[in-house]
Amino acid sequence: MKILKLKNLKATNYLTKFDGLRGFFCLLVLIQHYHIFNLPPYISDSNFRYLSFIFVDYFFVLSGFVISLNYQFKLNTFNNLKEYLLKRFLRLYPLLFYTSIVYLFLLFLFEGFKNNYLTSFFSDIFFTSSFGLIPDDASVNGVTWSISSEIINYLLFGILFYSVKKNSNRHLIILLVLFIILIYFKSLNEILFFSTHTLGWLRGLLGFFIGYFSQFLHRICSKKLPHIFEYLFIIGLLYIFTFENYLTYPLNNLFLSIFILAYFGLGLFILANTNGILSKILESNLFSFIGKISYSIYLNHMLILNFVMKPILDKLRLEDNLLNQWSVLISTLLICIIYSNLTYSLIEMKFINYFGKYKRRIRR
């Protein structure tokens, strides 16, 4: 089998379809957190919706795939390492800081001053909300633990690939880290794998390095796969998340949890090596748009649920019927998408463009 030169591979070749899937999973995470009104029965009762929190782990696997594909050969100087870390920081932090400020203000407005809100706010904006400095129920915006985990992933990846130049040594270190993480979870309590505000950074690191090996598998496979692999991936995903007999909340079987992470890695490998119907759907204008603003959707959705839709519904007191269930759900999704498009344009893109101008000034 021919081995591809990784330097010639670019994540931009697959980023649209990867982001399309991430956008879809972000909407499923929103539905999993949806508590403001009853969902239609066939959604609310589905195991697929019940377990949608696991789709956050796709984000970690995706980051491992894309970051390693883009940067593992570029982190050969300290200046490159600094540029990489600054770029990742500016990609995550502006929106995180903005949403944390807005969330804190609305908490004070709706619920009054509480000391734990300030503690949680500082934990969120200093990226410490994934390793046990605050209790599970004290985060300002509960989803920020995964952003804390992401920044830790970026930092450890950068340090490892700057310090260790030989690929085989990198692989050994990563495998050793994965083994230690698994043993650690197994020795404590398997259920702690999903204790997001205490060991979330380890959960993120596990997914990130699985994404790295998925990328490595893609590098050594130069052949396009038959389109049927896309269908098999979808069928397998549906099977995993609907087979209630062995997959129940919380996922207290660590083996199955790791299997799902590995399955996400396999899915990225398949999508990177196919161009079938699923790829075309994920690259369509709709999915491309949702994927583009997915980071904003992820950080904004709890704000929309708790401080926009819930107060409105408390006032309206709608009758609980199928029409209203669908109307409220669709309205929530649309409001979240519209608002997220604004934060993407006015906050995310502003800082991305600023970083580009900053780099050009330095090079002059």
Domain range annotation of the chain: 6-363
Which pLDDT belongs to residue 151? 94
Residue 195 Ramachandran class (φ > 0 left, ψ -120 to 50 alpha, else beta): beta
Phi, psi for 315 (deg, rounded to 5): -80, -40
What are the residue ranges in the chain where pLDDT is below 70? 1-14, 115, 132-139, 183-195, 222, 243-256, 355-364
pLDDT for 355 equals: 65
Position 81 scores a pLDDT of: 93
Residue 285 to residue 282: CA distance in whole angstroms: 8
- For residue 31, the model assigns a pLDDT of 92
Task: Report which DSSP code applies to 2.
Answer: P
Q: What span, in angstroms and rounded, lies between the C-alpha atoms of 31 and 50? A: 9
Quick one: pLDDT at residue 2?
Answer: 43
Distance between CA atoms of residues 131 and 206, nearest Å: 14
Rounded distance between C-alpha atoms, residue 206 and residue 40, angstroms? 35
Q: Where are the alpha helices (DSSP H) in the chain?
A: 15-32, 41-44, 47-50, 56-71, 78-111, 115-125, 145-163, 167-188, 196-220, 228-242, 254-272, 277-282, 285-292, 294-304, 310-316, 322-343, 349-363
Question: What pLDDT is attached to residue 364?
Answer: 42
Contact residues for 17 (Cβ-Cβ < 8 A; gap 6+): 271, 279, 282, 283
* Angle (nearest 5°) at CA 338 between 277 and 20: 20
pLDDT given at position 350: 87
Residue 25 and residue 30: Cα distance in Å, rounded? Answer: 9
What local confidence, expressed as pLDDT, does residue 140 receive? 79
Q: Which residues of 180-207 are buried (b: 16+ CB within 10 A; e: fewer)?
A: ebbeebeeeebebbbbbbbbbbbbbbbb
How far separated are the first and last CA of the chain, in Å rounded? Answer: 44
Residues in the chain: 364
> In the prediction, which pLDDT does 137 show?
52
CB-CB neighbours of 352 under 10 Å: 14
Report d(CA 292, CA 38) in Å as an integer.
29
Block residue for tokens 């949680």: 120
Question: Whose structure tokens read 């269908």?
Answer: 231
pTM listed for this prediction: 0.87
Provide the 10 A C-beta neighbour count for residue 110.
11
